[in-house]
Structure 1
Amino acid sequence: MPSFHNGAVEIAYLDEGEGDPILLVHGFASTKNVNWVYPTWVSELKKNGRRVVAIDLRGHGDSTKLYDPEQYSIEILAGDVVALMDHLKFDRADIMGYSMGGRITAYLARYQPARLRSAILGGIGIGLIKGGGPGENVAEALEAPSLEDVTDPVGRTFRAFADQTRSDRRALAACLRGSRRLMTERQAAGITVPVLIAVGTKDEIAGSADELGKIIPGSQVLNIPNRDHMRAVGDKVYKTGVLEFLSHRH
């Protein structure tokens, strides 16, 4: 896979297809492959005439692992996404993020709107503002000697996922501690780019898509039926809704 350096940090990515670019930003403890390739997002978007770029965020996948939480603020993670756009020499793109990637996408939509044609916030609803989801319980689960030592149910879920993806658990714990700053309601209300919010109706981590939709002006909401945080990622309703949203943007 290709990579580039943003300062001292090596960032891995994929770049496939031709057409208008869409940049994909995976969720916490995931990777470009787990979040976007295996659930066939990359192939579907390419079939629909898009150039698809997907990043491995620092601390994840094939990118550099860091162990200082200060190196994982949302601003720094968003800076890696912009650096990738600069490296590939495109000024603007549709950007879709899932979960933590959705937080990064929302930050870019608010503070770098000239770089986005649209923002798709997957797996993140009102939790963007009110919080919830993985916290210190998950960081401690990632640092535990083994899965058997973890009693917290949410911690067990993320620890099992990290083990399954063979992730650097110490880097993930640092990332989690560094990236938890929330967006205020006023900041979210200042987002002006076109936004689609897509969340599973059984997602207890993301929070309500409808609640966030009432705050971000002109945003569209896509509720993904009967899907939780993990299972919404590859859902057909999610894909169909995103492709329809992008076709209108086109």
Structure 2
Amino acid sequence: MPSFHNGPVEIAYIDEGEGNPIFLVHGFGSSAGVNWVYPGWVSALTKAGRRVVALDNRGHGASSKLYDRAQYSLEIMASDVRALMDHLDIPHADIMGYSLGSRIASVLALHHPERLRTLIIGGLGYGLIEGGGPGEDVAVALEAPSLEDVTDPMGRMFRAFAEQTRSDRRALVACLRGSRQWLTPEQVASIKTPALIAVGTNDDVSGSPQRLHEVMRGAEMLDIPGRDHMRAVGDRVYKEGVLAFLARHD
């Protein structure tokens, strides 16, 4: 993977295809490869005539591992996306996040709306406002001596995922504790970028997409039938809905 530096932090990324650019921002504990390449997103988007840029968030994948939670605020992580856009000389683009990536993308839409053509909020509902999702129980699970020592169900899910992806668990703990900030309803309502909210109907991590839609009244909604937080990522309905949404806004 190529990389660039945002200050002292090295950020790895992929850049494939030609056409209107879309930036992909992965979820907590994942990477560009796990979240976007392996589930077929990069292939689907490039085949649809898009230029796809996906970064490994700081603390994840091939990017720099940092152990100070202060280095993982949503604003700082959003600055990595903006710096990558500058590095590639892309003034504005479609942006799709998943879970934590959706919170990062939403902060970018809030503070730098001129950089976004559209905003796709995947795997995140009202948790954008009221919190929820992986919290301190997950941090404790990541710090546990082994998976067998973890009893919390969500903690076990994220600990097993971290082990499967061979992640730096210490960096993930710093990221988790440093990025737990939420937007207010007023901030979310002020986002005027054309948006799509896409959440699995069996997702018990993201918070209610319907409640988020009540705040983001101009957004569109996409239900991903029968999918939970992890299994929604590569779903065909999700891909087709996103491609149709992008086509409507080209």
TM bin (shorter chain) = over 0.9
Cα distance in 2 for partners of 1:174, 1:48 equals: 37
Cα distance in 2 for partners of 1:210, 1:92 equals: 28
Cα distance in 2 for partners of 1:137, 1:95 equals: 30
One-letter identity of the residue aligned with 2:246: L
Q: How does 1:44-55 map to 2 (within 5 A)?
A: 44-55=44-55
One-letter identity of the residue aligned with 1:161: F
> How many Å apart are 1:109 and its aligned residue?
1.1
3-state SS in 2 of match to 1:221: strand
One-letter identity of the residue aligned with 2:153: P
TM score, norm. by length of structure 2: 0.99
Cα distance in 2 for partners of 1:111, 1:71 equals: 18
Aligned to 2:183: 183
> How many Å apart are 1:151 and its aligned residue?
1.0
Q: Establish whether residue 209 from structure 1 lines up as the match of residue 209 from structure 2.
A: yes
Aligned to 1:70: 70
Q: Establish whether residue 94 from structure 1 lines up as the match of residue 94 from structure 2.
A: yes
3-state SS in 1 of match to 2:215: coil
> How many Å apart are 1:217 and its aligned residue?
3.3
Contact 1:205 1:229 in 2 (8 A): yes
**Which is further off, 146-155 or 59-68?**
146-155
TM score, norm. by length of structure 1: 0.99
Aligned to 1:26: 26
> How many Å apart are 1:216 and its aligned residue?
1.1
Cα distance in 2 for partners of 1:222, 1:144 equals: 37
Cα distance in 1 for partners of 2:244, 2:211 equals: 22
Cα distance in 2 for partners of 1:236, 1:136 equals: 32
Structure 1, residues 191-224: CA drift from partner, whole Å, max 9, x if none? 0100000000110110111111111131000011
> How many Å apart are 1:156 and its aligned residue?
0.4
Cα distance in 1 for partners of 2:187, 2:217 equals: 11
Aligned to 2:232: 232
Cα distance in 1 for partners of 2:232, 2:109 equals: 23
Cα distance in 1 for partners of 2:186, 2:35 equals: 30
Q: Establish whether residue 167 from structure 1 lines up as the match of residue 138 from structure 2.
A: no
Identity of aligned residues (%): 68
Cα distance in 2 for partners of 1:9, 1:184 equals: 29
Aligned to 2:248: 248
> How many Å apart are 1:131 and its aligned residue?
1.1
One-letter identity of the residue aligned with 1:108: L
3-state SS in 1 of match to 2:186: helix
One-letter identity of the residue aligned with 1:198: A
One-letter identity of the residue aligned with 1:113: P
One-letter identity of the residue aligned with 1:17: G
Aligned to 1:58: 58
> How many Å apart are 1:10 and its aligned residue?
0.2
List gaps (5 residues or longer) in structure 2: none
Cα distance in 1 for partners of 2:152, 2:69 equals: 22
Contact 1:124 1:197 in 2 (8 A): yes
Contact 1:26 1:32 in 2 (8 A): yes
> How many Å apart are 1:89 and its aligned residue?
0.3
Contact 1:14 1:55 in 2 (8 A): yes
3-state SS in 2 of match to 1:214: helix
Aligned to 2:219: 219
Q: Establish whether residue 126 from structure 1 lines up as the match of residue 145 from structure 2.
A: no
Structure 1 stretches of 4+ moved >4 Å:
none
